[in-house]
Structure 1
Amino acid sequence: MNLGKLALSLPLPPNVPACLDWARRSEQLGYESIWIAETGGADPFVLAGAVAQVTATARIGLAVSPVYIRTPATIAAASGTVSQLAPGRFILGLGSSSHAIVENWHGTPFHKPVTRVRETVQIVRAMLAGEKLKFNGTTLHTQGYRLMAPPAGSVPIYVGALRPPMLEVAGEVGDGVVVNLFPAAALPTMLKHVAVGARRAGKDAARFEVVCRHQVLVTNDKNGAREVFRAGLTGYFATPVYNKFAAWYGFEEEAALIAKGFKTGDREMTRKGMTDRFVDSLGIFGSLEECRERIAEFVAAGVTTTIISPLAFDPEAIRATIEGLAPR
């Protein structure tokens, strides 16, 4: 059974010291890489730097950091710092995030996300190479900045993407793509759009790493896992970005119910939109063998690296999932 490369998702509860314990342990268990999300938890660059100090071989990636909440110069400076702490191991993941996070949390307009991501990647890549550039784009402008201590080697930049326009940008300006929350059957179509962007830039999409974060729980209680998934992910699918994504890959009715219920404050309607069929197509939960089979299904569809994000808050459930799926 081909499971591709397996990776661990951070942060994990309850705190940063626990994250570092899991980072150290995951490397011992054979996980190939560690990927850090940016939502409402630990600062991803700081955590990545700390993870670098407790690991020796695992790659350390961000999956992903929103381009709206830092300037390209601060992204480049932070990335250069982590790269010096983990030479050849750091991967910068950038994406647009969502209206809820960018506008509600950070008070920044969620404007022209496809263009903003493209221009951020272009600027940050040049800065990490030590260039002093003048850039006048549609969404970003910079001149005169130069990174004082650029990393010795190149820093791969991966793009978080969902629908065709951003998937094509990932292929065009990225070195890899980060995806999540979709059924395996949708991936071949998604990767065709990555290939369109890659061809536009004269690159071979077949060499792209496809990184996918999955909500995973090794459990005998599938109904309980579904409820945990609903509790944690319904809010995602109420946002325009993920709601449109769900409709795009074939769950139009569910997406409409979720959006309408969220808009009107009808929690029961929103919950009805999170049908078992919908939840089961996105989450990975069940026995150890069932989880392995589902991961293999996504790998067969084109995933290169699977990020295991335990669908639990209970320490024992987290441990059982991470250790159960460990490559060693």
Structure 2
Amino acid sequence: MTARDLGKLAITLPAPFISSRGCVELARRADQDWGYDAIWLAETNGADSFSLAGAIAVATSRITIGTAIVPVYNRSPAVLAMSAATLGDLSKGRFILGLGSSSHAIIENWNGIRFEKPLGHVRESVEIIRQALRGAKTHFQGSLLRSEGFRLGLVPKPPVPIYLAALREKMLELAGELGEGLIVNLFPVTALPKILNAYRRGASKAGRDANQDEVVCRFQVAVTDDVPAARQLVRMAFTGYVAQPVYNAYFRWCGFEAEAIAVADAFGRGDRTASAAAMTDAMIDRIAILGNADECREKLAEFTAGGVTTSVISPIATSREAVEAVFETFAPRRGC
């Protein structure tokens, strides 16, 4: 199996155990040495995605740089447009703005912003950002957001594409209607048809053909002969994630009804051990990529065959060396 059988390959940054400067060095290696197609930057409670993207943009020359994702709630549309324009310029057209609604925990608990009406907030944010990125003076009065008279001092050329992250049907349809690409993660391959159908349905309603759109999926990957230990790392990292209402509903929609309910119930009682245990081995094996290198490639290939166009490698690891080893395993220039 060659790297091209897996579609486009990307790395995710920030990565555990690695400083921001270290992430820039990994980005340089992904660009110059490993031959990856893209770097997709996550944002939770670590590095600011735009700051890191700027450093990466000037340290690389070929590779695509995208956010997957930054939330639409904790920065205004004007600020998001300025950041995207700056990164489009710094990267010489290699930047993609990936946006999403995020979660109650991040937006409301951490940032003190009401996490309400995510569909409307995403829609109105994108409309304002698009006005600005076209170089127009903004003129928008929505039910949630407004912007009047803002104009970018630096209009990016070529225009910065906007990709949208989505979980269930309504947001997937909105992503198809407004986005130029889709960002997804943590689902079984059996859920891929209904994910793509909802996205394409939204595009069709807008008179747009989404069949050639990029579908970016971040995969949690452990290249290991100790799969039980890797499963425990997944539980440690994602039990709280699965317990969050918006993601819990998503996992139920993906076919994990009993598991998702059990995780949330135990988490709500404060029983973290029971909550983690409710993420069964079978569930983890369907949403994460665990095993030896060949087994991991075979699992990724199933998603590619189903319609994922870009596989973003997110290492499940316990050290910097292990993170780099995972990236090296899937590097296109290392003959994977």
The normalised TM-score by structure 2 is 0.96
Q: Secondary structure at the match of 1:217?
A: strand
Which residue of structure 2 lines up, in the alignment, with residue 3 of structure 1?
Answer: 6
Please list, as runs of the form range in 1=range in 2, the aligned pairs for 1:1-328 lying within 5 A after superposition.
1=1, 2-12=5-15, 13-27=17-31, 28-328=33-333
Gaps of 5+ in 1: none
* Equivalent pair of 1:217/1:317 in contact (CA under 8 Å): no
CA displacement at 1:272 relative to structure 2: 2.5
Deviations 1:103-158 (A, max 9, x none): 01100001100111111111101101111121111211110111111112211000
| TM-aligned CA deviation for residue 14 of structure 1 | 2.3
For 2:322 and 2:101, locate their aligned partners in 1 and report how far apart those are by CA, in whole Å: 31
1:252 shift after superposition: 0.5
Deviations 1:29-61 (A, max 9, x none): 010000100101111011101001111100000
- Percent same amino acid at aligned positions? 52
Q: Which runs of 4+ in 1 moved over 3 A?
A: none
Return the alpha-carbon distance in structure 2 between the equivalents of residues 141 and 262 of structure 1: 38
Matched residues in 1 for 2:57 and 2:318: separation? 25
Instruction: Indicate if the aligned counterparts of 2:88 and 2:160 stay in contact, CA closer than 8 A.
Output: yes
- Structure 2 SS opposite 1:205: coil
Alpha-carbon offset, residue 245 of structure 1: 0.5
Q: Is the 8 A contact 2:221 2:314 kept in 1?
A: yes
SS at match of 1:298: helix
Work out whether residues 310 and 322 of structure 1, in 8 Å CA contact, stay in contact via their aligned partners in 2: yes
- Shifted more, 312-321 versus 51-60: the winner is 312-321
Structure with more contact order per residue of length (Cα contacts < 8 Å, sep ≥ 6): 2
Q: Secondary structure at the match of 1:257?
A: helix
Q: CA separation in 1, counterparts of 2:75 and 2:110?
A: 13
Two-structure CA RMSD over aligned residues (Å):
0.9
CA distance in 2, matches of 1:191, 1:201: 16
The worse-fitting range, judged by mean Cα deviation, of 315-324 and 221-230 is: 315-324
Deviation track 1:50-104 (CA, whole Å, cap 9, x = no partner) reads 0011111000000000000000000001111111101220000000000000001
Give yes or no for contact 2:119–2:171 (8 Å, CA) kept in 1: yes
Question: Contact between 1:218 and 1:317, CA under 8 Å: does it hold in 2?
Answer: no
Q: Which whole-Å deviations, capped at 9, do the CAs of 1:171-222 have from their partners, x for residues lacking one?
A: 0000000000100110111100001110111111101110000111111110
How many angstroms apart in 2 are the aligned matches of 1:133 and 1:32? 34
Q: Secondary structure at the match of 2:6?
A: coil
Contact 2:136/2:151, CA 8 A, preserved across alignment? yes
Letter in 2 for 1:118: R
CA distance in 1, matches of 2:110, 2:265: 22
For residue 266 of structure 1, report the CA deviation from its aligned partner. Answer: 1.6
Determine the C-alpha separation between the residues in 1 that align with 2:114 and 2:318: 32
Distance 2:9 2:273 in 1: 36
CA distance in 2, matches of 1:156, 1:173: 11
Q: How many residues align?
A: 328
CA distance in 2, matches of 1:10, 1:283: 18
- Aligned with 2:236: secondary structure? helix
| Cα distance in structure 1, aligned partners of 2:9 and 2:18 | 23
AA aligned opposite 2:258 = E
- Taking the aligned partners of 1:238 and 1:105, their CA distance within structure 2 comes to 16
